[in-house]
A and B are shown apart, each in its own frame.
Chain A
Amino acid sequence: MLVVLVGVMILHLLDLILLIISTALNAWLVDGDLSTDLWYGCTSKNGGYHCKQSISEDWLQAVQALMVLSVLFCLLSFVFFLCQLFTLVKGGRFYFTAIFQILASLFVMSGAIIYTVMNNGPESSSYGHAYVLAWVAFPLSLVSGLIYIVLRKKE
């Protein structure tokens, strides 16, 4: 049982770390030495490092909001998991935790989908590693949420 518990916790923490990295790093779109979105577009031309704010379009702001919300909900679900670990009756399921984790995964999915559809970088640009991490975090959080639905508390 301890193995399952530790494994579930490690999965959750890994998911949280991926979400935080994806939200905080400005590397959703990469074009040569310019890496941009979600917050700043930074380029390292001529030896210096110049950053300017990302375009304040409405879809980008929605992606920002959804990524921040997913991080918040993942964190909240981890806190609830720790709470429920001690307060749940024997045989109970971690529904509260599962709800928040699944909501977090939905937010990540929505954010990634909106960004994929609406971004209009130049022809030479490609997706950066923060974008890839967002897409990796989505199934991870979904699986984690489903595990919490199935998981039952034992003594």
Chain B
Amino acid sequence: MTRTRGGVFSCGSLLCPPSRHLFLHPSIPPSLHRILSLLLWKTFTFDKQTFHHPSSHHTARHVVFSGDRMITLLTVISVVLLASVPRSESIVIYTGWERHALVGSDVRLSCSFFSWHWTSEDVTFSWSYRPDGAKDSISIFHYTGGAPYVDNKGPFRDRLEFVGNPARRDGSILLKNLDFGDNGTFTCDAKNPPDIVGRSSSVRLLVFEKVPVQAGVITGAIIGVVLGLLVLVVAIYYLMRFLVARRVFSLSVSKKKGKGKEGSQQKQIF
């Protein structure tokens, strides 16, 4: 398809012929395919009267876009694609990717899930922790039967608190008084019966002595401020020049109305 002036597309061999030459996605059933291709063809309607290109010498067919037909087509396509997406019965768990925290501070590790079923009363959350460099993970938190069970023997005893809301599908925990030994990967696993198939999600905790400055932030800030000041100074300079010129001009005009000769004299000085 080549674009000519005025937004008119002259069609090649692909879209002009009838719908059977149009090939859409193979996952679409054939009846729907026929309807869609007909709609596509009707959208790019053949309308010579409205858009006649004056300089067209060749007899190629010009096709133009029809607005509301486009909208109908897009709606139908999106509905078809949504319907053809397989409804997976698995649960999808969301945690963060990485969490940065300072030594001695508290950090909240959030975990929530998406499930096609309503939140049941037997929903369970469990958190496990794998230190950096270790191969095994230990379980540090479990919520089941409506009650949370926190770690009382492991590395997080007395430092773990459940701050989530299972009714709202939130299984977040709060780690208090962090130390360098808490660097590691925390994995959240949630189950919402009968939706129990799903992958658990992990968040990495990084504990810093002081928060590192990202590379380039200060550089960019300094450069931006200095260049901005430069532009500001130049703008003010030109503005002052413009204002001074204007004030002189208005002064001479008012004096001209009152006294006449003095105004013209003042104009001569400046």
Q: Which residues of A contact B (CB under 8 A)?
A: 53, 56-58, 61-62, 64-66, 68-69, 72
With A56-B213, A58-B213 given, is the CB distance from A66 to B222 under 8 Å? yes
Identify 30 residue pairs between A and B in the complex whose beta-carbon atoms are under 8 Å apart, listed by A's number: A53-B215, A56-B213, A56-B214, A56-B215, A56-B216, A57-B213, A58-B213, A58-B218, A61-B213, A61-B215, A61-B216, A61-B217, A61-B218, A61-B219, A61-B222, A62-B218, A62-B219, A62-B222, A64-B219, A65-B218, A65-B219, A65-B221, A65-B222, A65-B223, A65-B226, A66-B222, A68-B223, A69-B222, A69-B226, A72-B227
CB contacts under 8 Å to A, within B190-218, are 212-218
CB contacts under 8 Å to A, within B46-60, are none
When chains A and B are docked, how far (Å) is the Cα of A69 from the Cα of B217?
15
A-side contacts of B222, CB under 8 Å: 61-62, 65-66, 69
Distance in Å: Cβ of A61 to nearest Cβ of chain B: 4
Distance in Å: Cβ of A149 to nearest Cβ of chain B: 19
Other A-B pairs beyond A56-B216, A62-B222, A65-B226, 15, CB < 8 Å: A53-B215, A56-B212, A56-B213, A61-B216, A61-B222, A62-B218, A64-B219, A65-B220, A65-B221, A65-B222, A65-B223, A68-B223, A69-B222, A69-B226, A72-B227
5 smallest CB-CB distances across A and B, nearest first, come from A65-B222, A56-B215, A61-B218, A65-B219, A61-B219
When chains A and B are docked, how far (Å) is the Cα of A66 from the Cα of B220?
10
Distance in Å: Cβ of A20 to nearest Cβ of chain B: 16
B223 to chain A: closest residue by CB: A65
